[in-house]
Structure 1
Amino acid sequence: MSWIPTGTGHELAIDDGRIVARNSKGKPLAKVPAAAKKTQAWEELDSLLSFLHAHESEVKEQVELWLLRSLPVPVQLLKEVWVDDSWRRFLTDLVVSTPDGEAVGFLRSVTAQGVGIVDLDGETLTLDAPQVLLPHPVLLADLNDIREFAVELGVQQSVDQLFREVHLMPADLDPEARELSDWADGKFEQLRFAQARAAANGFKVSGGYAVCPCHDDGRLVVARYWVGSGYPEEETYTGELHWSVGDVVVPVNEVGPLAYSEGVRMAAHIFAGRAVEKEDER
């Protein structure tokens, strides 16, 4: 941590995502003094901190995009970004595999020799494949066993991958069904509450629908869950969940496991924020 003098008898630095201060004798201060906030040093650190936060958000978004696409990522690209602290933090301990699925493990390093992993037998390996996958958990065989092993290893992921909610398509699903109503009729006292619930979980709202785009079986599939339209202060009720390819709503049983799981996850997250009647009001 590098300390920068302010000229006010204080020094500033960035620590754990925030600006901290100490006095000229090196004693840490509980908060940054007002005088120090009016200096050039503060302005420069504040601008740097804003840049770092934006950079972290962009990195996390890109890694999650790789996860939702489950498409091969060039190892050369990983080598180039690995030197960056933010990239390294979000990539470390993610489950990666070779495109053929023959080698699976937790990402620990990226060097000139390749991608270093700890495989599911606890062995340290270096993958020399030109590409690797960041598989969605619904696509992982023996997911529960991998989760248990991750706990034993003390794995901590900065991107929600391994312990992400997974939803499997029910075997008794109506083959003609084009939408699901399991999460319909969720009451929100104001539309903006439903929209905020969606945004807080990373979902955009367009045309009254919360949307979650995924790449499944090489095609773009968009899960769409009705949250309502109109004035933000108006009461709203959630509607059905469906999936579309292009502008066409497809039968649910034609949706791949990744898009199905993510669509249900989105609807369940938003629906959980609905207004629930108290017992004495029923």
Structure 2
Amino acid sequence: MAWLAAGEGYEIALVEGRVAARSASGRAAGRQLKTLPKALKDHPEVDRLRRLADWLDRHEASCVAQVDAWMVSSLPVPTALIARVWPDEAWQRALRDLAVVGEDPQEAGFLRDATATGELKVVNLDGETVRLSPRTVLLPHPVLLPDLEDVRDFAAELGIEQRVEQIHRPTWQKPAGLAESATEVRDYAGGSFPTRFSLAARATALGYRVSGGYATCKVRDGAGRATEAAVWIGEPYYDDETSTGALNWHDEDGRAVRLAEVGPVAWSEGMRMAAALYAGRTIEEGGDA
């Protein structure tokens, strides 16, 4: 970003997301200062840059959230849309190096670039850089990727780093032999928290929605059907010690979904939420723990 004049003898700019200043005159001209001078603390241009920095942070977070939603919802994303947003650095950071699959399942690779004409440059699983121009692409959830461990090893060889957690996202496979009538999982029930508020705060900090007595996350499968995973966290306004409860799933009408009917992505994401909440539980120490 260009340096802007601010007061006598100073210039300011956004550097790595914060307002920085440098001398504009004298022997130190052009040298960036370690801290913002007191004379600039309340300068209008400094305030404007701070507000811009806040907006850029929110924009980047919204880009990451949207790309994450595309992935967990199995939504086909128009290639033209990716090409249109690619020049925006926040979108580019969210999308770069994600595994993408074209209309042909064999068209898979890590996204490296998008051209204005709608072509995607990807590194395929043979290590070759190829150009794809499908009408839409999928950003597959890792539980749907065959040979996931091999994909992870290959990504490590390429030095792949993803802004949106995809190939290294923890996954859970639905076990076989579930009871036909079963509707809940208790693997992560019983995690104690000092207050219901602290458990709800953990859910919110992890990006989950808190509604009534539940922490929830919604997933759409490839057919567009929505399933909501929910973990009981305690009655609202109840501020004594509480524990994580069972995990279950509901359809769009609020009806319980039997475990045998829960899709692979909904299962994995529900278990991921339950495990993440449980990980913040109070751990007893000492001989009686």
TM-score normalised by L of structure 2:
0.94
- The corresponding residue for 2:244 is 238
Q: CA deviation at 1:92?
A: 0.5
Shift of 1:238: 1.1
CA distance in 2, matches of 1:146, 1:46: 41
Aligned pairs for 1:206-245 within 5 A? 206-218=211-223, 219-231=225-237, 233-245=239-251
2:35 corresponds to which residue?
A: 31
SS, match of residue 243 in structure 1: strand
Q: Gapped runs of 5+ residues in structure 2? A: none
Query: 3-state DSSP class of the match of 1:249?
Result: coil
Residue of structure 2 equivalent to 1:168: 173
Secondary structure in 2 matching 1:27: coil
> Superposed, which structure 2 residues align to 1:1-282 within 5 Å?
1-24=1-24, 25-111=29-115, 112=117, 114-218=119-223, 219-231=225-237, 233-246=239-252, 247-282=254-289
Counterpart contact for 1:138–1:166, Cα < 8 Å: yes
Deviations along 1:54-113, one digit per CA (max 9) or x if unpaired, are 111111111111011112101111111111111111101000001341211000111115
Letter matched to residue 86 of structure 1: A
**CA RMSD in angstroms, aligned pairs only:** 1.4
> Does 56-65 or 258-267 show the bigger shift?
56-65
Percent identity of equivalent pairs:
44
- Partner deviation per Cα, 1:203-255 (whole Å, 9 max, x = no partner): 01101111010012421000001111233632111110000112101111100
SS class of match (1:38): coil
**Contact 2:79–2:118 (CA<8 Å) still a contact in 1?**
no
Q: Which SS does the other structure have where 1:158 is aligned?
A: coil
Partner SS state of residue 149, structure 1: helix
Shift in CA distance, 113/73, structure 1 to aligned 2, threshold 3 Å: closer
Work out the CA distance in 2 between the residues paired with 1:39 and 1:155.
42
Deviates more, 1:227-236 or 1:128-137: 227-236
Letter in 1 for 2:18: R
SS class of match (1:170): coil
Kindly provide the amino acid, as one letter, of the partner of residue 16 in structure 2: D
1:158-207 CA-to-partner distances (Å, cap 9, x unmatched) read 10011000100112332321001111111100111111111121101101
- Hey, what's the Cα distance between the residues in 2 that align with 1:71 and 1:171? 27
Alignment partners' CA distance in 1, 2:230 and 2:219: 11
| Secondary structure of the structure 2 residue equivalent to 1:105 | strand
TM-score (norm 1): 0.96
| Deviation >4 Å, runs of 4+ | none
Q: Quick one: distance in 2 between partners of 1:175 and 1:8?
A: 76
Contact 2:73 2:222 in 1 (8 A): no
Contact 1:72 1:99 in 2 (8 A): no
1:43–1:184 CA distance, 2 compared to 1 (3 A): same
